[in-house]
Amino acid sequence: MRIPEVRGGLRSAVICGAGAWLPPRIVTNDELAARMDTSDEWIRTRTGIRARHIVSPGMPTSHLAAEAGARAMESAGVTEIDALVLATTTPDRPCPATAPLVAHKLGLTGRPAFDISAVCTGFLYALSVAAGLIASGAAAHVLVIGAEAFSTIIDPRDRTSGVLFGDGAGAVVLRAGEPQEPGAIGWVELGSDGSLADLITVRAGGSEQRTAVVPQQPADAYFSMIGKEVFTHAVKHMTQASLTALNHAGWRSGEVDLIIAHQANLRILHAVSERMDIPRNRLVVHLDQVGNTAAASIPLALAHAQSTGELFTGARIILTAFGGGATWGATALTWPAIKVE
């Protein structure tokens, strides 16, 4: 590893590159309505989603992650990475972690690489851990990826979850830098509440199932969510975490240019912006095109916002998410001058 000398204590992690990748196959609401009891109208009015990208055969999460990771490294103009952190709910296999395989695909064999499991908050957890690796001097460049093949854990008969989720990957490269630079990662507010574990879950496939007194059901192999309760907790925790992050940054709500929140439901985004007293036109909305992509959601939304021109150099942005665990998080930062691939 090439670690620059640490002078004057801890260093800051600064975003110096970003990239994203979506599998080419697009599934519209109408296509879903043709195979399950739902409608374009229901999906659009309840969620804001119009379409989602879905993986094709032979395209596991590591494939998506490597595509996004390669683009982020190109954007940063780096070929050397000291560590890779992958946030995913849908690893290629339950064992081992997917990150070492992604590192291998990217020509980074030998570097530390590990997975973070925090469902839709995974990217913010990964960002925080990666920033810590840089602050401690353990790494000078860290690749942070959020990647999901979420469609692979959805029960094809479950119309509630089946219409919500999509697949994709996004990534950023962090480098060692100064806290006042644009792109510097400041305070990352994170939290969890394990008493809510049943709200968003895949029950089977782990030690709980293998030690179960009562055998589990076939449906337990798939993702399940108690949507209404999740909605309420998501609004509350994303709002609180965002306000805490704003406080750490020393910004008032009115000074925020963009909220880049986990893209689960348009009604959740509206509720968070209202509670934060930030106008709706400062919300980045990407879920209409990709649905809920869990850990990939925030980096995909960053890439989308940069491509539309909404995200500009110097923009003051809030990143926030809520997900299974339950987990939540938020951070405030100023967007750097980078080209997103």
Catalog residues that contact ligand UT7 under the rule CB under 6 A. 38, 42, 46-47, 120, 159-160, 163, 200, 227-228, 230-231, 234, 264-265, 268, 292, 322-323
Largest CA distance in the chain: 62
Nearer to ligand UT7, 85 or 268 (CB): 268
Per the annotation, the verdict on 292 as an active-site residue is: yes
Nearer to ligand UT7, 160 or 253 (CB): 160
Nearer to ligand UT7, 21 or 223 (CB): 223
Nearer to ligand UT7, 266 or 338 (CB): 266
Q: How far is the CB of 120 from ligand UT7 (least distance, A)?
A: 4
Calpha distance 117→147 (Å, rounded): 11
Q: How far is the CB of 225 from ligand UT7 (least distance, A)?
A: 6
Q: How far is the CB of 199 from ligand UT7 (least distance, A)?
A: 9
Per the annotation, the verdict on 120 as an active-site residue is: yes
Nearer to ligand UT7, 187 or 231 (CB): 231
- CB proximity list for 331: less than 8 A, separation 6 or greater: 124, 127, 128, 185, 186, 187, 188, 189, 245, 318, 319, 320
Nearer to ligand UT7, 153 or 230 (CB): 230
Kind and range of the H or E run holding 307:
helix 297-308
Query: Amino acid letter at 269?
Result: L
CB-based contact 293:166 (threshold 8 Å): yes
CB-based contact 317:259 (threshold 8 Å): yes
Coil, strand or helix at 81: coil
Q: How far is the CB of 232 from ligand UT7 (least distance, A)?
A: 9
Residue from 322, 313, 307 nearest 170 by CA: 307
Which residue in 141, 265, 286, 292 is the catalytic one? 292
Calpha distance 273→269 (Å, rounded): 6
For the beta carbon of residue 126, count every other beta carbon within 10 angstroms. 29
Which residue in 53, 63, 237, 262 is the catalytic one? 262
Nearer to ligand UT7, 117 or 160 (CB): 160
Q: How far is the CB of 286 from ligand UT7 (least distance, A)?
A: 14
CB-based contact 239:330 (threshold 8 Å): no
Per the annotation, the verdict on 281 as an active-site residue is: no
Which residue in 120, 265, 286, 304 is the catalytic one? 120
Pairing of strands 327-334, 316-323: antiparallel
Q: Which residue has the closest beta carbon to ligand UT7?
A: 227
Which DSSP category does 63 fall into?
H
Q: How far is the CB of 307 from ligand UT7 (least distance, A)?
A: 23
Burial of 94 (0-12, 13-18, 19+ CB in 10 A): exposed
Backbone φ, ψ for residue 244 (5° rounding): -65, -45
Pairing of strands 258-261, 141-148: unpaired
Q: How far is the CB of 151 from ligand UT7 (least distance, A)?
A: 14
Residues in the chain: 341
Coil, strand or helix at 171: strand
Q: Which residues are catalytic?
A: 120, 262, 292
